[in-house]
Amino acid sequence: MITRESGDAAGAEASGNGVPLTPAYAKKEQAAIASNAQEPLTYCLPAGPIGAVEHGLVHQYLFTPGLITIIMEDGEIRRIFTDGRGHLPLAQLQSRYMGDSIAHWEGDMLVVDTVGFPNGSLFQAGGLTATINTHLVERIFKNKKGQLEIDNVVTDPAIFTKPWKFTRTFQPASIELGEPGCRTNLRDTGDSIDLTPPEGS
Amino acid sequence: MNPKNLLAAALLSAGTAQAHHSAVMFDHSQCVVISGTVRAFLFEYPHSWLWLTVPDSQGGSSTWAFEFPAPAGLVMSDPTHWKPGALPKGMKVTAYAAPMRDGRQGGLMNSVVLPNGYRMHAAPDSVTCEEKYYGAHPGDEVLKKIGAQ
């Protein structure tokens, strides 16, 4: 079991500190932040491959022949195919949150290539999502500290002026993967919350 | 080519304890101290919650509600103490929190003090809200205390 230990350059708060946004997208992001736009996860919608692990979601990797499945605490499931297939045509991925992920091994490093996740959130705040042309490459490996390390490179000509690179590391967690509770514990309503105690308490 | 070399044993991971929604409803410049009895505690995604029954000066009581990070975030703060049932119904605790801006009885939890005096923090930085907003050693006069102390 592993838990996130540190990361850098991820999240809207970091976008002004190294995320190479195009002027148009930086303006869009500022407008979203100014309007206090919410991200998909606020409404129990999937966050996507970048946004999901940024939200404190416990997630579990399952290895089966030709397929790696990542189960996330909020009920999202990400499938990464390792059977040698290519990407599906983007036309078939119009409403994806997780996109189409294929991967191969380079020694003990898993290299994951993902395209077509136009509904997947890119940053923690602001409600900004990927486009149909966003391309994510993750290099996942066990570092010298025994942690899971993921080196990410994201490209999209509409969003970034150059590849956006950042690293996330994870370490063992002491809790089990919980049941999805978003729908039953959706007390957040944008800028307010429901304080009502549980029924029967 | 061996997945076991990627990570040994079960591959369960968690992200940071980030809020998944706006926090503008909380007044982060304030720190309230609420003492009461646990009415309910939810240790779950996307946010953990604590409801306290808090006595008032007229001999009655009312309920206060506090939002926490998801379990993954809490265990990063204190892996030994944060767990399901960590705050059982009936336990007397003191909560430190940023209160609701709209005046309702609730807030964003900073930390919880157990009957034995142990303080469970809701964030990994372990900075108490009274230290954060009122200085390293705030006097009682700056803290808004509610309920039995």
Q: Tell me: the pLDDT tens digits for B82-94? A: 988 999 999 999 9
Backbone angles phi and psi of A32, in degrees to 5: -65, -40
From A139, which residue of chain B is nearest by alpha-carbon distance?
B6
How much is the pLDDT for A36?
Answer: 72
Of chain A residues 60-119, which have a CB less than 8 A from chain B? 60-63, 68, 73-74, 105, 108, 110
Instruction: Collect the ranges in chain B with pLDDT lower than 70.
Output: 1-22, 126, 132-145, 147-149
How much is the pLDDT for A41?
Answer: 74
| Cα–Cα distance, A25 to A161 (Å, whole number) | 10
How much is the pLDDT for A3?
Answer: 40
How much is the pLDDT for B144?
Answer: 66
Residue A48's Cβ-count burial label (10 Å; 0-12, 13-18, 19+) is buried
A3-83+97-173 belongs to CATH 2.40.128: yes
Contacts of A174 in chain B (CB under 8 A): 75, 79
pTM summary value: 0.75
Judged by CB atoms closer than 8 Å, whether chains meet at B15 and A11 is answered as no
Nearest to A56 among B14, B49, B67 (CB): B14
A6: which strand partners?
A169
Q: What is the ipTM of this complex?
A: 0.73
Judged by CB atoms closer than 8 Å, whether chains meet at A201 and B44 is answered as no
Which ranges of B9-117 would DSSP assign to H, the alpha helix? 71-77
Q: Are the beta carbons of B148 and B55 closer than 8 angstroms? A: yes
pLDDT tens per residue, chain A (201 residues)? 334 444 443 343 344 457 899 999 888 888 887 777 777 777 778 888 888 766 656 778 899 999 999 888 778 889 999 999 999 998 887 788 899 999 999 999 999 999 999 888 887 666 678 999 999 999 999 889 888 889 999 999 999 999 999 888 876 666 777 777 666 666 766 667 888 898 888
Q: Which two tokens stand for residue A47?
A: 């966050």
How much is the pLDDT for B3?
Answer: 60
Of the candidates A104, A120, A107, A127, the one whose C-alpha atom is nearest the C-alpha of residue A33 is: A127
How much is the pLDDT for A101?
Answer: 96
Q: Which domains does chain B have, with CATH numbers?
A: 25-147 (2.40.50.140)
Contacts of A127 in chain B (CB under 8 A): none
Q: Which two tokens stand for residue B90?
A: 């009936």
Contacts of A193 in chain B (CB under 8 A): 25, 67, 106
How much is the pLDDT for A158?
Answer: 93
How much is the pLDDT for A14?
Answer: 40
* C-alpha neighbours within 13 Å on the C-beta side of residue B82: 30
Where along chain A do its domains lie? Answer: 3-83+97-173
